[in-house]
Structure 1
């Protein structure tokens, strides 16, 4: 079937009460292709701790990290059916899949723009206008992102001036004050019940989100005064 243009899709969505958006890696590539394209990340990644992983990329003829992670995890689950004694390979595959996730996050952080001003103001303005179809007005719904980087968070926090009238984007992501430490330099996930009204969901996590073991934390610039990349 022929694809709708973005304008046609927005017009077609007028029949529904809410608009929702799912962001994939293309969202980040559109801003900084030289950084966030999987090929760029692959070229910058350090596989020295697990050279077998690099061989998996070659065997699959891909530079897609998540495709390789899924393959390793799937292979680890099915290999015991073909290897009588189980062997050490399945455990090693799962270990390398976890390691590859860490390599991906480290590579993104290491090549990520350091502060929002590294990105041209007109890009933020264009992106906020794009997001306004989903996070502003009577049809405001939810934005779900699969990306680890800070671009969406930075865009939501950005000021529109001097490019035009301020756009009121919904930006609640389910985090709020820690009841035990309300003045902490971080905020905490409020739980599924308390965060039911959140409009932005980081489905795969993000560089500024951390599992402390007790709580899921979000670090912010405004509370600590330290760039988020440095905090990460």
Structure 2
């Protein structure tokens, strides 16, 4: 079956009252392929702390970090069936799977554009126009990316080119009831999830699990660029939320029941 164009998908979904969007790595690559393509990230990553893990990529014939992480985690699960005394190897595989998550986050943070003005206004507004097919019509946007490009686009609403483009941007975070003046906001639980329109399924550079709550760093609360906040946290061994696990059965039925409408994956 020939691949449907975006324009054809929008036209085909016009019969529905809302559309939903799943964003993959192509969304970020379209903005800055020199940074967000897996090949670019792999080339800039520092594997000096676990050189064996770098060989996993060569063995799999890929530069996809998540594929390498899954391979290590799956190998650690099945190795006991074949190697009776493989506890040391299993522990090392699990350790390196975790290390690759940290390396990926460090590489993204280290090479990420520092502030939104490093990206042309025209790109932000092309992106806002694209997102308006979903977030201006009652739909939902789900992203698998860890970078800040989607968040920056949603916040970049001072249109220099004409009429403003209104986009829903509720992501389920809000004031911490115990500390409303904190320099971050927190996940609001089921109440927040019910009203959320933007979902960071795999985590992101500005989301941190503190153990007792999920925090979202913001510029407006702290006055420090988000990339700087993320880099400072990583330097202090506090890593952004990273979700590499999960299967479609865990999401599909409830997701489909809740959002309805027509879905587009890009």
Q: TM-score range by the shorter chain?
A: over 0.9
Q: 2:182 aligns with which of 184, 203, 210?
A: 184
- Report the counterpart of residue 19 of structure 1 in structure 2: 19
Q: Distance in 2 between matches of 1:210 and 1:86?
A: 34
Structure-1 separation of matches of 2:87 and 2:198: 43
CA contact (8 A) 2:219 2:225 kept: yes
Q: CA deviation at 1:86?
A: 3.4
Q: Which has the higher contact order (CA 8 A, sep 6+)?
A: 2
> Which whole-Å CA distance do the structure 2 matches of 1:134 and 1:92 have between them?
43
User: CA, structure 1 residues 194+121, in 2 after alignment: closer, same or farther (shift >3 Å)?
Assistant: closer
Of 202, 205, 213, 1:204 maps to 202
Q: Give 5+ residue unaligned stretches, structure 1.
A: none
Does the aligned pair in 2 maintain the 1:72–1:93 contact within 8 Å?
yes
- Cα distance in 1 between the residues matched to 2:83 and 2:11: 55
Q: Distance in 1 between matches of 2:153 and 2:12?
A: 26
- Structure 1's 43 and 221: CA in aligned 2 closer, same or farther, altered over 3 A? same
Aligned to 2:146: 148
Would the aligned equivalents of 1:160 and 1:167 in 2 still touch at CA under 8 Å? no
Partners of 1:46 and 1:85 lie apart in 2 by 31
Per-residue Cα deviation, 1:175-204 (whole angstroms, up to 9, x for no partner): 000001111110000002332110000001
Distance 1:118 1:73, change over 3 A: same
- Kindly indicate whether the alpha-carbon contact (under 8 Å) linking 1:125 and 1:160 is maintained by their aligned counterparts in 2: no
2:142 aligned counterpart, secondary structure: strand
Q: d(CA) in 2 for partners of 1:99 and 1:195?
A: 30
Task: Give TM-score scaled by structure 1 length.
Answer: 0.97
Distance 2:158 2:229 in 1: 26
Which residue in 2 is equivalent to 1:88? Answer: 88
- Work out the number of aligned pairs and report it: 230
CA contact (8 A) 2:141 2:198 kept: yes
Greater shift after overlay, 5-14 or 107-116?
5-14
- Number of the residue aligned with 1:216: 214
1:159 CA drift (Å): 2.3
SS in 2 for 1:187: strand
Q: Secondary structure at the match of 1:196?
A: helix
In 2: Cα distance, 1:191 partner to 1:87 partner:
38
State the partner residue of 2:60. Answer: 60
**2:120 match:** 120
SS in 1 for 2:58: helix
Provide the rounded CA distance (Å) in 1 between the counterparts of 2:59 and 2:26. 25
